[in-house]
C-alpha cells in the first residue's frame, strides 16, 4: 500500500535514470541494478526497526509532539504549494551532480544504486512517516530485535515493488509524459495539503481544524472547476470534475458552518445544529485525570476501597486517535451504561514528563491511546488491554467479563 503513495514515485525516475545512465537496457542487466537499489532502501528501514526494538524508546510520541507535528505540517504545506505550481522545489544542481558522481564511483550497477537507494529511503519519504511511526510503535512493543528489523525490511521491500517492476520490464512500462502529468502533480499537491492539515489539527482546537478543512475543501472545489461555466457541448469529463468540485465545496462549507456552531467532528459537521439527543442530557462521566505515579496509585486505591473495577486510558492532546476513541465511546449507549459501573482513570501523557514516562514504563505502555481494565482487586485483565483504535464490540465484551 505504501508503494502507491507519492513518496515512492520520486524514486521511479531516479532508478530509471540510473538504468539509462548505466546502459542497463536488457532485463538481465537491469534487474540486478533495481534489486540492489530496493534492497538498500529496505535495509535503511530495517536499521530503523533495529533501533526501535533495541532502544525501546517511545518513537510514536517523539514523532507526534506538537513541535514535531507542527514542523511536519509546515513542510507538507510547502511541498503542497510546490506541487500546485507556486514554486519549483528541486535538488541543487551541484548536489545532484555530486550524488551522480558518487554513485558512479561506487561500483557501477550495484554499489552506486545501492547507495542512492539507501539515501532515497531516508530523504524521499516524508509521507511515509505516519505509517512508519505505527510500524515502529509495533516493533517497540515487541522488543524483539530480529523481528523488528525483519518487519521493517519487509515494509521496505513492499515499498520497492514498483521499482523492481521497472527493473524487470524496463523503462517501456513507464507512461509517456503529457498534460495528464500536471493533473497528477496537482493531485499529489492536494494529498500533501491534506496531510499538512491533518498534522496541524493535532495541535489546534477542534473548531480551528474544521475551519482549516473547510477552507481547503472549498479551495479544492474551485480548482476542480466547481464554479467554471460549462457550455452545452462541454466534454463529459469536465462535467464530472464540476460535479465533484461542487460536492467538495458544499462539504467544505458545511464544515465551516459546523465549526461556527461549535461542532468538533468533521465526519458529522452539522451535528451541533441538531437537537440534543437524550444521551446528551445524561450526566457526564466523572474522570480522574492523573499524570504522576502517586496520583495514579491514589485513585486506584480509592476504586479498590469502593469495590469497583477501573478503566484506565492513556491519552494525549496531540493524539488524534485518542479523540476518535472518546467520540466512539460517547456515542455508544451500551458502552456508556457499562462504564458507569467502573472508576474512570485518565492518564494524561501530553507533556511526557519524567513522572509520565516512569508511569508508562511501569505499566508497560508504549504510547497513547492505550486502555487498561482492572478488576475489583486492582489486577489488570491482560486480555482486555487495547492499543490504538478501539473496537466498541470487543471492549463491551471485556467490560462485561470484568463485572462478573
Distance in angstroms (rounded) separating the CA atoms of residues 201 and 322: 13
Cα distance from N-terminal residue to C-terminal residue, the chain = 43
What pLDDT does 29 receive? Answer: 63
SS (H, E, C) 351-400: CCCHHHHHHHHHCCCCCCCEEEEECCCCCECHHHCEECCCCHHHHHHHHH
What pLDDT does 87 receive? Answer: 67
Distance in angstroms (rounded) separating the CA atoms of residues 384 and 229: 57
Distance in angstroms (rounded) separating the CA atoms of residues 357 and 359: 5
Distance in angstroms (rounded) separating the CA atoms of residues 33 and 112: 9
What pLDDT does 64 receive? Answer: 55
| Opening angle at CA 322, ends 280 and 273, nearest 5 | 35
If one counts every other C-beta atom within 10 angstroms of the C-beta of residue 307, the result is 8
What pLDDT does 300 receive? Answer: 92
Distance in angstroms (rounded) separating the CA atoms of residues 288 and 307: 16
Q: Which residues make beta-bridge pairs with 387?
A: 370
What pLDDT does 313 receive? Answer: 94
What is each CA distance from 77 to 24, 205, 315, in whole angstroms? 37, 19, 27
Q: Which residues contact 397 (CB under 8 A, 6 or more apart)?
A: none
What pLDDT does 373 receive? Answer: 93
What pLDDT does 281 receive? Answer: 45
- Find out whether 24 and 135 touch, Cβ atoms under 8 Å: no
What pLDDT does 343 receive? Answer: 92
What pLDDT does 84 receive? Answer: 73
Quick check: bond before 369 cis, omega within 30? yes
Helix (H, G, I), strand (E, B) or coil at 288: strand
Distance in angstroms (rounded) separating the CA atoms of residues 368 and 321: 8
pLDDT along the chain (404 residues), means of 10: 61 61 54 80 82 60 63 76 68 54 53 66 52 65 74 85 73 58 70 79 79 90 86 87 92 91 78 56 62 92 92 85 82 89 91 88 87 91 86 89 84
- Find out whether 362 and 293 touch, Cβ atoms under 8 Å: yes
Amino acid at each position: 500500500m505504501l508503494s502507491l503513495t507519492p513518496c515512492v514515485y520520486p524514486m521511479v525516475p531516479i532508478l530509471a535514470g540510473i538504468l539509462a545512465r548505466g546502459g542497463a537496457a536488457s532485463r538481465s542487466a537491469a534487474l540486478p541494478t533495481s534489486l540492489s537499489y530496493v534492497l538498500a532502501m529496505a535495509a535503511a528501514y530495517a536499521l530503523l526497526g533495529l533501533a526501535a526494538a533495541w532502544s525501546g524508546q517511545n518513537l510514536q510520541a517523539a514523532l507526534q509532539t506538537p513541535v514535531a507535528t507542527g514542523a511536519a505540517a509546515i513542510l507538507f504545506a510547502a511541498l503542497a504549494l510546490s506541487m500546485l505550481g507556486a514554486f519549483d522545489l528541486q535538488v541543487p544542481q551541484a548536489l545532484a551532480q555530486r550524488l551522480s558522481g558518487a554513485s558512479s564511483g561506487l561500483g557501477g550497477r550495484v554499489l552506486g544504486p545501492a547507495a542512492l537507494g539507501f539515501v532515497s529511503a531516508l530523504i524521499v519519504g516524508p509521507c511515509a512517516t505516519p505509517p512508519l511511526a505505527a510500524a515502529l510503535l509495533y516493533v517497540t512493543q515487541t522488543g524483539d530485535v530480529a523481528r523488528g528489523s525483519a518487519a521493517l525490511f519487509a515494509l521496505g521491500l513492499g515499498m520497492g515493488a514498483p521499482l523492481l517492476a521497472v527493473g524487470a520490464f524496463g523503462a517501456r512500462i513507464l507512461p509517456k509524459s503529457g498534460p495528464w502529468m500536471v493533473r497528477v502533480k496537482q493531485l499529489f499537491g492536494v494529498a500533501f495539503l491534506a496531510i499538512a492539515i491533518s498534522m496541524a489539527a493535532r495541535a489546534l482546537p477542534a473548531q480551528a481544524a474544521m475551519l482549516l478543512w473547510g477552507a481547503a475543501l472549498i479551495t479544492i472545489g474551485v480548482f476542480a472547476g466547481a464554479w467554471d461555466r460549462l457550455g452545452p457541448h462541454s466534454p463529459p469529463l469536465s462535467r464530472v470534475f464540476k460535479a465533484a468540485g461542487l460536492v467538495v465545496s458544499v462539504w467544505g462549507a458545511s464544515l465551516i458552518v459546523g465549526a461556527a456552531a461549535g461542532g468538533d467532528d468533521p465526519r458529522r459537521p452539522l451535528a451541533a445544529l441538531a437537537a440534543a439527543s437524550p444521551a446528551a442530557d445524561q450526566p457526564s462521566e466523572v474522570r480522574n485525570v492523573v499524570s504522576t505515579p502517586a496520583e495514579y496509585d491514589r485513585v486506584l486505591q480509592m476504586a479498590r476501597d469502593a469495590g469497583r473495577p477501573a478503566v484506565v486510558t492513556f491519552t494525549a492532546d496531540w493524539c488524534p486517535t485518542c479523540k476518535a476513541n472518546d467520540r466512539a465511546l460517547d456515542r455508544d449507549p451500551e458502552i456508556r451504561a457499562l462504564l458507569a459501573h467502573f472508576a474512570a482513570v485518565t492518564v494524561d501523557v501530553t507533556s511526557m514528563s519524567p513522572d509520565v514516562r516512569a508511569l508508562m514504563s511501569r505499566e508497560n505502555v508504549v504510547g497513547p491511546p492505550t486502555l487498561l481494565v482492572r478488576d475489583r482487586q486492582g489486577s489488570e485483565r491482560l486480555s482486555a488491554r487495547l492499543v490504538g483504535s478501539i473496537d466498541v464490540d470487543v471492549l463491551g465484551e471485556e467490560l462485561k467479563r470484568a463485572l462478573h
